[in-house]
Structures are given as structure tokens and as C-alpha cells.
Amino acid sequence: MASDPPSGEIDPSEQLSDTSHPSQLQHSSGETTRNQDLLSDTDSALGASLLESTTSVTDSIYSSIEENGRQYHSFRNGQYVLPNDEQEQERLDLQNHLFSLTLEGKLYLAPLDPKTLHNVLDIGTGTGIWAIDFADMHPQAKITGTDLSAVQPKYVPSNLQFEICDAEEDWNFSTKFDYIHGRMLTVCFKDVKEVFRNAFKALRPGGWLEMQDANAPARSDDGSSDGTAWVAWWDNLIAAGKKLGRPFGTEPPNYVRYMEEVGFVDVHVEVRRWPFGPWMQDKRMKDIGLWARANAIDALQATAMAVLTRGGGRTRQEVEAELVAVRKDLMSRDIHSYMPIYFVWGRKPEENSTRSSPEAGSPTGS
């Protein structure tokens, strides 16, 4: 991996080349309506299926829990450790831009045939920004986005609906999907293989599952991140996640094996990188590095606060104090750290396939 050899202070010209503020990144539906205008169960965009959803809709969906200065989901309270407030929603939209740069504008890598896409599921859809773009690009398909938090915009393409449900519970969708997508869910699930098992059952034969996830901890190839507060911070997050019974970003390297074990075939993996800062020589990677660093800085407190106070024995003040050194490391030109981003996709075999599912003992396992 080539890297710049500079040392010393940050060059003030190291600005994001795209001058739009992250909060101004607009998705293709044009309108983002957030906390003050959350979904209501009479919104037409929801479609009937919310009412038939796997989980009954309760008031908890529309309220939030305040903890250490951030807002968290109240439906299945405590399950997911990142906030769902406006600040976090803006970061998710910034991160969406980072994915777009990483995939050069593509939304997915699985070899989908748009003509055969009728039903698509986006689990852990967040602000729904990926699902909205996908729905715009595939008007013939019906897209469903699910999440624990009702933070999706009200005005969305007519072929998109959102449902509030828990992907860690049994899936109970009335239709089979042609494609299931999950992005940045690496801290969400106690048992991601169980989620893959549910996805396998929910796909039609021949359908694809694709996961797009970051792999913690941050690291460097030249040893420049060794012993830094930045890497120690990741070690602390991973240890605290373990105490809470949730792998914290460490599972993506196992995704290929898990998908194969639950019966997927043609499983492919592509690993790209998010360098933190503009230290790589390649112009495109410098740009990605600036966005990845902006995303990381915005995510620091959001990612750490709940996991370190709930699972790491820290107070809010202790977390804030630790973050000072971490921020400094992230801005240092001498630290050439990056995070691998895993894109893993696999296909549910056709019903007449002779290959049987390793776990299910039948061609499709459904």
C-alpha cells in the first residue's frame, strides 16, 4: 500500500473536495423529513403491510430514550448501541455518500438482473437512503426497508415502504424476496449467522443476499497506528461489545463461511478500504480518506457512548475525555490507518439444484 511520507501538521487544503455539508446531501427523493415529521401509521407511504407487520406497532416506535445526551430507539430498548437522533441520521447520510464513492456510484455488487427483481428487502435501513435510491433505480420492484427506529422520511418513492421490526426475531414476511441487502449492521446482531439463516428462508430460490460491512478494528500496514489511542479505542469498544454479548465489527471476515454454512452458493467477497485521512497517493483514495475521516469523527461519540457506558464501565465524562486523544490521532498525518469494508454476496440455490444446504439438508432449506 503506497502512502504519503509527510509528517507534521494537517494541511489546511485537506478539505472535502465536495463542498456540500454532509447534512445537505440529498437523496434522490429530494425531500428529507426527519424527527419532527416521523412516520405515522396512517401515512400512505407505509402501505398496508405495516399494519400486518411481524411486530405490533406501539407508541414505543415513535418515542426515543435519552441517555448521556443522545437519543436512542425505544422499541426493543437497549438492543442497538448507536443513537437514532438527527445528528446520527445526518452521519448516516454522509456515510451513504462514502459508500457511493467506494462503489463508484453502484448500490450493490451482486449480479442482479433488474428484470427479475420484484421484491427487495433492506434490513436495518436506517434513514432509508439506500432503499430510496434503489427504489428510484428499480421502479418495477417493490422495496421494503425495516428498522428498529422510525427515522425514515415520509415522502418516498411509491414502490418503497418501511416497516418497524426486529431482524433478530423470526422473520414473518408474506412474500419471498429476490434480493436482501444489509449495510453497516456489523454491531447490530448477537448472532449474524442466525440473521443469514432467516434471510435464506425469506429468499426465493435463485435470490441473493448481500452484506456491506466495516471490519473493526482500524489498522495500518506500516505499523504507524500501533500503540495509538485510536487503535486502543477500538480494542475497548470490541471488549465492551463482548460484555454486552454483541460482536463489535469483528464478524465480516466470517460472512462467507456463515453464508455457505446456511446454504448459500456462489458466495463472493470483495474487500475495499476506507483510509482515515488523505494519506494514500491515489487521488480517488485521498478523497475517500477525507470522507472516511469525516465520518469517523462524526461517529466517534455516537459509536462509543452507549457501548462504553453500558458495557465498558465508563462514565459519560470518561468517554468524552478519552475521545480527545482519539480525535487527535485521527487527524494526524503520521498515522496511516484504514478499515476494510466487506462486500459479501451469495445466492440461494435453485429448487432443482442438486447441491443441498449444509444445515437444512435440502436443496433450498426452506
Stretch of 113-121, 177-185, 288-296, 331-339 contacting ligand SAM, by CB under 6 A: 177-185
Taking only Cα atoms into account, the Rg of the chain, rounded to an integer number of angstroms, comes to 20
In which residue are the cell numbers 458495557 written? Answer: 311
Considering only residues 29, 32, 96, 236, which one is a binding residue for ligand SAM as defined by CB under 6 A? 96
- DSSP strand E in 36-138: where? 64-67, 70-73, 119-123
Which region, judged by CB under 6 A, interacts with ligand SAM, from 55-63, 119-127, 217-225, 315-323? 119-127
Does residue 3 come out as left (phi exceeding 0), alpha (psi in the -120 to 50 range) or beta?
beta
Helix, strand or coil, per DSSP, at residue 264: coil
Rule CB under 6 A: say whether 184 interacts with ligand SAM. Answer: yes
Give the residue at shortest CB distance from ligand SAM. 126
Does position 70 bind ligand SAM by CB under 6 A?
A: no
| Beta carbons within 10 angstroms of residue 17's beta carbon | 11
Residue 152 binds ligand SAM (CB under 6 A): no
Q: Does 64 bind ligand SAM (CB under 6 A)?
A: no
* Count of residues engaged in binding ligand SAM, rule: CB under 6 A: 21
Residue 93 and residue 25 in contact, taking contact as beta carbons nearer than 8 Å: yes
132 binds ligand SAM (CB under 6 A): no
Q: Which of 188, 237, 319, 339 binds ligand SAM (CB under 6 A)?
A: 188
- Comparing CA positions, the residue from 230, 277, 276, 273 lying closest to residue 15 is 277
**Shortest Å, Cβ 40 to ligand SAM:** 19
For residues 73 and 314, which CB has a smaller minimum distance to ligand SAM in the complex? 73
CB nearer ligand SAM, residue 37 or residue 226 = 37
Q: Output the smallest distance, CB 38 to ligand SAM, in A.
A: 14
DSSP assignment of 292-337 equals HHHHHHHHHHHHHHHHHHHTS---HHHHHHHHHHHHHHHH-TT---
Quote the cell numbers at residue 286.
485521498
Provide φ and ψ at 211, rounded to 5°.
-115, 140
Please report how close the Cβ of residue 54 comes to ligand SAM at its closest, in angstroms: 11
Report the b/e string of 111-142 with b at 16+ CB within 10 A.
ebeeeebebbbbbbbbbbbbbbbbbbebeebb
**Interface stretch with ligand SAM, choices 53-61, 123-131, 201-209, 271-279 (CB under 6 A):** 123-131
Query: How far apart are the C-alpha atoms of 96 and 98, rounded to whole Å?
Result: 5
Instruction: Build a one-symbol-per-residue string for 24-63: x at contacts with ligand SAM by CB under 6 A, - elsewhere.
Output: ----------------------------------------
Residue range at the interface with ligand SAM (CB under 6 A); choices 32-40, 166-174, 247-255, 327-335? 166-174
| Binder of ligand SAM out of 124, 252, 263, 363 (CB under 6 A) | 124
User: C-beta of 130: minimal distance to ligand SAM in Å?
Assistant: 6
Contact footprint for ligand SAM (CB under 6 A): 73, 80, 92, 96, 123-126, 129-130, 146-149, 166-168, 183-185, 188
